Structure 1
Amino acid sequence: MHFNPYGGVAAEIAARLVNAGPDQDLEQLLVAAGYRPVGPIDPRQEAELRSWIKELDAVFSNPSVEVLNALLAETTHRPYISTHDGRAPHLHYSQETAPIDERVKAYTAFGLATLFCEEPTRIGRCDRDGCDIVFIDTSRNGKRRFCSTRCSTRVHVAQHRRRHPA
């Protein structure tokens, strides 16, 4: 499925942040996800992003208008049209010169909100008991229930074994 840059890439970055371990380097995560420019993340920004990750996690547990509006209310920037790097006009939700934590907060909040408005069922958390991995469902039919084939297989094998004991 094709998503616009905010509903797709930004929402995917939100999922990557939520899935990040407490010791994972957030600067490297953002760069690997294609978010630029990142620059060094200082300790205050790191703490702010870690706090933001907890708020993003709530969206994957309960994607709702209320939860997403609360996230959007925490971003203090005005959208504007940008044409940087020779790209076609596109929206930005924070100034390019804003601190990284503010830019990531605006980007991920608007990304999840855009995706929710377009396809609210595409924001997911793995259905396997004990797995807390979140994902953005980019499948063609939009019916994804698991974070990976591995989790899906584990659930289906367990169901099969319950139905057909040895």
Structure 2
Amino acid sequence: MAPLLRHLRAAVAAVADGAPSDPVNRLLAAYPPRLHVSTHEGAGLAHLHYARDGEPGVSWLGRSCGAALAHIGCGVPEVTIGRCQAAGCARFFVDQSRNRSRRFCGNKCASRTTVAAYRARSR
């Protein structure tokens, strides 16, 4: 699990920061997607799978995340991944705001940053 997390964190950071796609490519090389169309044996509409059923969870997760980050990094679909701007927070988030201007992973980090800025101005 640790190798996947290392690859995944670097790939998400590259997409969030608009950096070169080398970390995404390393994730894809380590966990190459095995694309196939599935209807779940006729039980549903045709759709894409990035890994085969029955694969170990880590492989499935690496393949699926690698493919998703590659799509997001190329702008399809139009999704923005951001990095929290709060001091000491290392989280990422999906920015679904109307103008893609979200800066924090959640209210806790936003409030903490606002209070710290207010206190710094008050001194």
TM range (shorter): 0.7 to 0.9
Q: Which has the higher strand share?
A: 2
TM-score when normalising by structure 2: 0.80
Q: Deviations 1:83-140 (Å, cap 9, x if unpaired)?
A: 1173321111111122222111101111122222226872222111111122222223
Q: Is 1:102 matched with 2:59?
A: yes
Q: Which residue of 2 aligns with 1:81?
A: 37
- Would the aligned equivalents of 1:58 and 1:67 in 2 still touch at CA under 8 Å? yes
Classify the secondary structure of the residue corresponding to 1:124: strand
Q: 1:120 to 1:52 in 2, by over 3 A?
A: farther
RMSD between aligned residues: 2.1
Distance 1:109 1:62 in 2: 12
1:162 Cα deviation after fit = 2.2
For 1:147, the equivalent position in structure 2 comes to 105
Of 152-161 and 113-122, the range deviating more from structure 2: 113-122
Letter aligned with residue 84 of structure 1: H
C-alpha separation between the residues in 2 aligned to 1:121 and 1:164? 38
Q: SS where residue 37 of structure 2 aligns?
A: strand
Unaligned 5+ segments in structure 2 are none
Answer yes or no: is 1:62 the counterpart of 2:18. no
Which whole-Å CA distance do the structure 2 matches of 1:103 and 1:140 have between them? 32
**Correspondence for 2:5:** 53
Whether the 8 Å contact between 2:14 and 2:24 is mirrored in structure 1 is no
CA contact (8 A) 1:128 1:151 kept: yes
| CA distance, structure 1, for counterparts of residue 91 and residue 30 of structure 2 | 24
Unaligned runs of 5+ in 1: 1-48
Change (3 A) 1:143 1:133: same
- Normalized per residue, the structure richer in helix is 1
